[in-house]
Structure 1
Amino acid sequence: MGVSAASILNHILYSRTHKPQTQPTSAKALTNTIFTHLKAGRLQKAVSILFAAPVLFPYSLYASLFQICVSNHAIVEARKVESHLVTFSPTPPVFLLNRAIETYGKCGCLVDARELFEEMPQRDGGSWNVMITSYTQGGYPEKALSLFSDMNRSGVYASEVTFASVLGSCGATLALCLSRQVHGLIVKYGFVGNVILESSLVDVYGKCQVIKDGQRMFDEIKNPTAVSWNVIVRRYLEMDDGTKAVFMFFKMFQTAVRPFNFTFSNALIACSSISALKEGKQIHGAAIKIGLEDDEVVSSPLMDMYIKCGKLENAHRVFEQLSSKDLISWTSIVSGYAISGKTREARELFDQMPERNVISWNAMLAGYARSLQWEEALDLVFLLRNATKDIDYVTIGLILNVCAGLLDVEMGKQVHGFIYRNGFLSNLVVGNALLDMYGKCGNLRSARVWFYLIISQWRDSVSWNALLTSYARHGLSEQAMTIFSEMQWETRPSKFTFGTLLAACANTFSLEHGKQIHGFMIRNGYEMDVVIRGALVDMYSKCRCLEYALVVFLESASRDVILWNSIIFGCSHNRKGRVILELFGLMEEEGVKADHVTFQGILLACIYEGLVELGTQYFYSMSNKYYVMPRLEHYECMIELYSRYGHINELEKFIKRMPFELTVPMLTKVFDACRKYECLRLGEWATKRLNELNPSMELKFQIMDRERK
C-alpha cells in the first residue's frame, strides 16, 4: 500500500540513523519498557524506543500511543508511530489507520490526515467518519460537507457520529437545504429517537434562522437532555426572542433535567435583553438553590441583568457575595456603574481592581464618554498610556471620542498618527471614529479627505452618516443634501440619516429640503416611527409650516411623551398658545403622562396668551397633581409671566418662596418689570442682589435708574 509523505520521510530517517541490532530485544520486553515510560509521562522517550525497534509491536500499543499523542498534542511523536506501523505492518488494520487519521485531525494536521485517508487501500464507515469529523472540528465545514457527498456517492452508509459532524458543518455554513436532506437521511436510516442527532437538528435549524422548524424538532424529542434545552434557549436568544428563551428555560424546570451553568447564563442574558427583572430574580433564586450563584459563568450575566434592569444595588450585592472575584466580575460591576452614569462609584471600584485588562480600561473610559465627562476621560487616557501598552481598536475609538468631546483637533491628529504607526488604519470602527472626530472638531476638509481618499474601499453606512452629520452640524445643509444624494449610490440610508438631515433642515429653516426628505421616505417605504415623526414635526414647526407638523403628528398610530413634546414646542415656536392648551387636553385624554418638558411648553403657552392665573394653576399642579418637580426653566417661565403682565405682588410672593437663589437673568427680568411698572421697593431689592452677584453691572443700573427719573 502507499504511505503518506510524513511516513516516507520518517522511514528514510529511520533507515539512515538506525542499524539492525545484532541481538534484538524481544517485542514483549520492549512493550513493557514503553508502557513503563508512558506511565511515567515520558511519551517522547517511549516513542523513541518504539521508533528504534525493528519489530512489529502489538496493535493495542499503537492504539494507546495514538490516544496519548492526541492528549499531548504531540504531532511529531504521532508521525513516528504511524511511520513505524506502516513500515512493519504490510496491511495495518483499518481501525488503526482510522486512529492515526483521528490523531492528525485533532492535532491540527489535516493535510497529513487527508493524505493517509486517500492512501488507504480499504476504508470503512469509520474512515469516512473520522475524516469528516476532523474537518468539522478543524474549522473546515465546506470540506467536511464535500467529503460527505463523496461518501454518499461511494455507497457508504453514514453513522450517527457522521451525521452529528455533518449537521455541525451545516450549522457553520448555514446550509439549510442540505440540513433538510440530512434530516431526511436520518429518518430513512432509522436514527429517529437519537437525542444527540435531534438536538443537532434543533441547533442547525436555529442557526439557519428557521426557529419554528427548530421548535417543532425539539417538541419531537421524547426526553430532551440538558444539551437539548441549552440549544433551544440559546437559539431563541440569538434570534433576539428573549421572551421565548426565558419561557423555554422555565419550561425546563417542569422536567427533571438539571440545567447547565451556560443555560442559566443564556436565560439571564435573555432577561437583560427584555428587561425582565421579575424573571431574572426567579432565575437568581434557582441558581442559589442549585449552588451556581458563585459560578463565574452565571455571576457575570446575573450582575449584567440587574444592571440592565436598573438595579445596581442588587448587582453590587451579587458582586460582594462572590467568594472569589475574578477579572470578569470586577469589570462587569465597573462597567455597570459606568454605563449607568455613576462614574464616581465606577472609578472607586476601578481603582480597587487588583488587576486590569484592556476591557476594564475601555469600560471606565466609555463611562466617562457616555456621561460627557471629557476632562476626567482625558486624565484616564494619560493614566492608561502610563500603565499599559495593551490597547485595542475600541480604546482608540474612545480616545477619538474624547478628542471630539474636547474639540481638540490637535490631539486628534496625534491619535491619527498613532493609528498609522500601530496598524489600526484598516479597522473600520477606528476609521469612522476618526471621521467623526474631524467632523465634530470642525475640520471638514480633513474629514472629507479621509472619507473619499482613505476609507473609500471599505466605508459603510456609519461612515456616510458621520460625514453627513459633520456638515449638517455646522449648518451646511446644501452640502449635506449633496452627500445624501451620493450616499444613495453606495448604501441604503438609515433612520439615523434622515433624523440628521431633518435636524439640519430645521436648524437652517430649509423647508424645501425637508419636504424632499419627507417625500423620499414615503416613496421608498421607510417606516415612520415615533422618532422620525418627532424629527418631521420639529422640522416643519421650525420652518413655520405648523399645518404640516400637525398632520404628521395626528397621523401617528402611537404617540409617546417625546412626540407630544415635539408638537407642543412646535406650536410654542409658532406662538400658538391656545393650540398648545388644546393639545395638552388631548394628551391627558390619551393617558400620556406629562413630564417637565411638557410643562415648560404649557407655561410658555400661558405667557403667549397672557393667562397668568391659568399659568399659576399649572405651575402648582406640577408637583401636587402630576408629581413633576419644577425645574429652573419653570421658575424662569413664571417670573416672565408675572413680569410681562405686571403682576408685581404675585411676582414678589413667588420669588420670596423660591427654594433657591435667583439667577442673574431672573433678577434682570424682575428689575425690568419693576422699572416698567414703577415698583421701587422690589426694584431696589433686585438691584442690590444684582450688584452682589455681578458688581460690574452696578453702573448700568444706575444709568437706567436716572433715565427712569
Structure 2
Amino acid sequence: MAVTASTLLERLLQHAVRPKSPTKTLTLRPPKPPSSTILRHLSAGDIDGAIAILSSSPSPFPASVYSRFLLLCASRRALIAVRRVESHIISSCHPSTPPTFLMNRVIETYARCGCISDARQLFDEVPRRNGGTWNAIISAYARCGCPTDATELFARMHGSGILPKDVTFASVLGSCAHLLALTLARQVHGLILKFGFCVNVILSTSLVDVYGKCQINMDDAQKMFDEIPEPNPVSWNVIVRRYLDLGERMKAACMFLKMIRMGVRPLSFTYSSALVACSDISLVLMGCQIHGNLVKSGFERDYIIETSLMEMYAKSGLLEDALRIFNCCSSRDVVSWTSMVSGYASCGRISEAEMLFEEMPERNVISWNALLAGYVRSCFWEKSIEFFQQMQGESSEINLVTLGLMLNACAGLLDVDRGKQIHGFVCRHLFKQDLFFSNALLDMYTKCGCLRSAELWFREIGLARDTVTWNSLLSGYARHGRSEEAFIYFSAMLLETTPNEFTFSVMLAAAANIPMVEHGKQMHGRIIRKGLKKDEIIRAALVDMYCKCQLLLYAIRVFEEETSSDVVLWNSLILGYAYNGRGDCSIKLFEAMQMSNIRADNITFNGLLRACIAEGYVNLGRQYFDRMGDEFGVLPRVEHYERMIELLGRYGYMLELEEFIQRMPFEPTIPMWNRIYDFGSKQGYGRLEQLAFSRI
C-alpha cells in the first residue's frame, strides 16, 4: 500500500498521542468526597465529627448531604457549624456559582438559629436570586420577630415581579397580624385571590388569624372561616382563640362545640382555649360538657388541659371541683399550685388561699402576685402592704404587676406618699413601664386627689393610652367635683379612642354633680346611638343623673325599662325620690324592693333616713335605724348617725337626741356637734347646747 502524505500525518499523530511504553499511565482524578462517612456522623448527631470531615475535603458533597447537615445545625442551633457549611459550599464550588437552592437553605438555617443578620448578609450576596431566595428571607424575618422588615421585603419582591408562594403569603400575613396592619392584610388578601391561592387552607387560616387580631369584631374573620371548604384542627383553633382574645367567650365556646359536632378532633390548645372561655359561672355547664368530651377523647391527663380545667372550675367558683382535679394531677408544679391559689383568692376565700400558698413547694412571682391580687380585690389594704413587705424579704422577683397591685392598695388607703415612692422606685430602676402599671399609677393619683400629678402622668403615657387610661382620668375629675374639665377631656377622648359603658357612667355622674342636664341628655343620646347595652351600672347612673337634675319622670322611665334585681339601681331611685322631696315614694319603693326579695344595704337605709327627714317621719326613721342591724345585718355608719341626728333635731326631739348621742358607739364628729349645737340653741334646750359647746 502506498504511503501518502495524509496517511503519514495520521500515523504521526497517532504515535504522538499513544504512549511509547506498553505500561498504562493512571489518570489523576480528584477523589470522591467521603459522603457515606459524613452521613454516618450526621445520623448519629455528631456535628463535630461531620465538621472535621467537611474541613478535610476540598471537593463538593452532594446537595442531599448539605441539606442533612443544615437540618441538624438548625435543630441544634449550631450557628458556627452553619457558617462552616456555607463556607464549604462556596469554596468547593469555586469558580462556578454555588447552587441557589442551597443558598436558600442556608438562609433558612441562619434564621432558625436566630441569626437574622447573617441570613440578610447572605441574601444580599446571592448572585442569582429566585423566588425561593425571597421566600427564605421573608420567612426568616417573620420567624425572628421582625414583621416590618418582612413586609418591606415582600413589597420589594412584589415590585420586582417575582411570584410569591403560599408560604411567603403566610409569613406576610403573620407579620400583618403582629403589626395590626389591617389595610396591608387586605391588600395581601387581594394578591392571594389574584394568584389563585384562595382555596389554600393554610392561607385561609392565616387570613382568619389576621382579621381576628386586627379588628374589634370578628365579622371578616368569621366570613373567611366560613369560606374554608374543610377547616383543619389548626383553623378551628385559630377561630376559637380569636373569639376568646376579643372577650367573646360564648362565641368561642359555641365554635368549639360546633367543631366537635363536625367530627374534627381538637388540639390540646383548642381544648385549653375553650375551657378558658368557660371560666365564668354563666358558661360553667358548657365547661362541664367539654370536660366530659375530654374524658371520652383521652385528653384528660394532658398537663395543659389539667391546668385549664382547674382554672375553669376555680374561676367559676366551683373550688371543690378544682381541688379534686388538683389532687388527681399527674404532675403538680408551680403553675398548678398558683392556679389554685389564684382561684381561692379571686373568690374571696383568702384564708384557704393563704394555706395553699404556705404549702407550695416552690413559688414564683406569679404565685406571690396571685395572693396579693386576692388581698387587693378583697380590699384588705393593710394586709396587702404587709404581704408586699414579706415578699420583698423572701423573693427578689418583683415585677410591674406587683407594683401595680401595690398602687391599687395605695389608692384604697389614699396613701399618696407610698404611691409616689413606688413611682420613684420604678423610675430609678429603669423598669419598662407597661400599660397596667401606668393605669394603676394614674388611678392612684386621681383617687388620692392629686389631679395635677395625674394630668402630668396622663401626658407621659402618650399614645399608649387606652380606654382604661381615659376612664381613670375622667373618673378622677368627676369624683372631685371638676365636672367641666371632665367634659373637656371627654371631647378629647372621642378623637383618640372609643368610650365604653364605664366611660358613660362616669360622664353621667359628672353631669349629675353640677347638675348639667343638657350634658347628661347628650350622654344618654350617645349611649342610644352607639347601641351600647344599658346594664345596671348605666341605668343607675342615668337614674341618679335625672334625679339630681330634678327630672323624676325621666328617671322613672329609665328605671321601668326593664326589671332588675340590682340593689344599686333601686338605691339610685330611692335616693332620687328623697333628694327631690318625695320621701313617701322612697318608702313605697323600699316596700316593693322587699317584695322582690332584693336585700337592702347601707346605701338603701341612707336613702330611707333621708326620706324620713323630708317627710318628718321620726318614729319610722328610728324603726329603720334599728332594723338595719337587727333584721338586715347592716352596720350603721357615720352617715346614718348623721341622718338620725338631723331627723331628731330638726323635729324637736331633744330628749331622744340626747339619749341617742349617749348610746352612740363613738364620739360625735365636729360637724355633728355643730349641728347638735344649732338644734339645741334653736329649740332652747340648754343642756344639749352646753354639751355641744363644750365639745366644739
Q: TM-score, normalised by structure 1?
A: 0.74
Matched-pair contact (CA < 8 Å) for 1:537–1:552: yes
Amino acid in the other structure paired with 1:306? Y
Instruction: Report the Cα offset of residue 407 of structure 1.
Output: 3.9
User: 2:671 matched to which residue of 1?
Assistant: none
Out of 195, 201, 222, the position equivalent to 1:195 is 201
Matched-pair contact (CA < 8 Å) for 2:505–2:541: yes
1:241-320 equivalences under 5 Å are: 241-272=248-279, 275-320=282-327
Matched-pair contact (CA < 8 Å) for 1:75–1:107: yes
Q: Distance in 2 between matches of 1:636 and 1:169?
A: 59
Describe the SS at the equivalent of 1:310: coil
Instruction: Report the Cα offset of residue 259 of structure 1.
Output: 0.9
User: 1:365 matched to which residue of 2?
Assistant: 372
Out of 102, 108, 123, the position equivalent to 1:102 is 108
User: 1:485 matched to which residue of 2?
Assistant: 488
Describe the SS at the equivalent of 1:276: helix
The 1:101/1:354 distance shift into structure 2, 3 A limit, reads same
Matched-pair contact (CA < 8 Å) for 1:600–1:634: no
1:174-193 equivalences under 5 Å are: 174=180, 176=182, 179=185, 191=197, 193=199
User: 1:116 matched to which residue of 2?
Assistant: 122
User: 1:44 matched to which residue of 2?
Assistant: 48
1:339-488 equivalences under 5 Å are: 339-424=346-431, 426-441=433-448, 466=472, 469=475, 473=479, 477=481, 479=482, 481-482=484-485, 484-485=487-488, 488=491
Instruction: Report the Cα offset of residue 217 of structure 1.
Output: 3.9
Instruction: Report the Cα offset of residue 272 of structure 1.
Output: 2.5
Instruction: Report the Cα offset of residue 297 of structure 1.
Output: 1.9
Matched-pair contact (CA < 8 Å) for 1:425–1:431: no
Instruction: Report the Cα offset of residue 240 of structure 1.
Output: 3.1
Instruction: Report the Cα offset of residue 246 of structure 1.
Output: 1.5
Instruction: Report the Cα offset of residue 250 of structure 1.
Output: 1.2
The 1:676/1:491 distance shift into structure 2, 3 A limit, reads closer
Amino acid in the other structure paired with 1:43? I
Greater shift, 433-442 or 491-500, is seen at 491-500
Out of 155, 165, 170, the position equivalent to 1:164 is 170
Amino acid in the other structure paired with 2:517? K
Instruction: Report the Cα offset of residue 673 of structure 1.
Output: 9.2
Q: Distance in 2 between matches of 1:150 and 1:393?
A: 41
Q: Distance in 1 between matches of 2:631 and 2:31?
A: 93
The 1:481/1:27 distance shift into structure 2, 3 A limit, reads farther
Amino acid in the other structure paired with 1:257? V
Q: Distance in 1 between matches of 2:250 and 2:381?
A: 38
Matched-pair contact (CA < 8 Å) for 2:204–2:224: yes
Amino acid in the other structure paired with 1:34? I
User: 1:19 matched to which residue of 2?
Assistant: none
Instruction: Report the Cα offset of residue 391 of structure 1.
Output: 1.0
User: 1:204 matched to which residue of 2?
Assistant: 210
Q: After superposition, what is the alpha-carbon deviation per residue over 1:182-208, rounded to whole angstroms, capped at 9, x for unaligned?
A: 556656656565433343343334334
Matched-pair contact (CA < 8 Å) for 1:580–1:601: no
Instruction: Report the Cα offset of residue 408 of structure 1.
Output: 3.8
Q: Distance in 1 between matches of 2:144 and 2:266?
A: 28
1:34 partnered with 2:33: no
Matched-pair contact (CA < 8 Å) for 2:411–2:445: yes
Q: Distance in 2 between matches of 1:98 and 1:450?
A: 50
1:70 partnered with 2:77: no
Amino acid in the other structure paired with 1:630? F
Instruction: Report the Cα offset of residue 385 of structure 1.
Output: 0.6
Amino acid in the other structure paired with 2:286? E
Q: Distance in 2 between matches of 1:290 and 1:83?
A: 51
Instruction: Report the Cα offset of residue 220 of structure 1.
Output: 4.1
Instruction: Report the Cα offset of residue 77 of structure 1.
Output: 1.6
User: 1:133 matched to which residue of 2?
Assistant: 139
Amino acid in the other structure paired with 1:91? T
Out of 565, 572, 583, the position equivalent to 2:578 is 572
Instruction: Report the Cα offset of residue 307 of structure 1.
Output: 3.0
Out of 318, 328, 331, the position equivalent to 1:321 is 328
The 1:97/1:559 distance shift into structure 2, 3 A limit, reads same
Instruction: Report the Cα offset of residue 86 of structure 1.
Output: 1.4
Matched-pair contact (CA < 8 Å) for 2:474–2:490: no
Structure 1's unaligned 5+ residue stretches are: 1-23, 623-627, 645-664, 678-682, 695-702
Q: After superposition, what is the alpha-carbon deviation per residue over 1:208-244, rounded to whole angstroms, capped at 9, x for unaligned?
A: 4474444344344443322122122223323433222
Q: State percent identity of aligned pairs.
A: 45
Instruction: Report the Cα offset of residue 102 of structure 1.
Output: 1.7
The 1:250/1:535 distance shift into structure 2, 3 A limit, reads closer
Describe the SS at the equivalent of 1:372: coil
The 1:312/1:517 distance shift into structure 2, 3 A limit, reads farther
User: 2:85 matched to which residue of 1?
Assistant: 81
The 1:532/1:393 distance shift into structure 2, 3 A limit, reads same
1:663-678 equivalences under 5 Å are: none
User: 1:9 matched to which residue of 2?
Assistant: none
The 1:30/1:462 distance shift into structure 2, 3 A limit, reads same
Matched-pair contact (CA < 8 Å) for 1:432–1:462: yes
Instruction: Report the Cα offset of residue 531 of structure 1.
Output: 2.5
User: 1:649 matched to which residue of 2?
Assistant: none
Q: After superposition, what is the alpha-carbon deviation per residue over 1:357-394, rounded to whole angstroms, capped at 9, x for unaligned?
A: 11111111111111111222122111111112211111
Structure 2's unaligned 5+ residue stretches are: 1-27, 668-686, 692-696
Instruction: Report the Cα offset of residue 44 of structure 1.
Output: 3.4
Q: TM-score, normalised by structure 2?
A: 0.75
User: 1:518 matched to which residue of 2?
Assistant: 520
Greater shift, 326-335 or 45-54, is seen at 45-54
Q: After superposition, what is the alpha-carbon deviation per residue over 1:442-485, rounded to whole angstroms, capped at 9, x for unaligned?
A: 56666566667x66787666556555655655x5x2x5534653
User: 2:17 matched to which residue of 1?
Assistant: none
Q: Distance in 1 between matches of 2:255 and 2:464?
A: 41
Q: Distance in 2 between matches of 1:369 and 1:635?
A: 23
The 1:45/1:301 distance shift into structure 2, 3 A limit, reads same
Describe the SS at the equivalent of 1:56: coil
Instruction: Report the Cα offset of residue 97 of structure 1.
Output: 2.0
Describe the SS at the equivalent of 2:348: coil
1:61 partnered with 2:65: yes
Q: Distance in 2 between matches of 1:286 and 1:168?
A: 32
Instruction: Report the Cα offset of residue 331 of structure 1.
Output: 1.3
The 1:638/1:391 distance shift into structure 2, 3 A limit, reads closer
The 1:148/1:490 distance shift into structure 2, 3 A limit, reads closer
Q: Distance in 2 between matches of 1:430 and 1:423?
A: 13
Q: After superposition, what is the alpha-carbon deviation per residue over 1:415-467, rounded to whole angstroms, capped at 9, x for unaligned?
A: 33322321137555434434444554556666566667x66787666556555
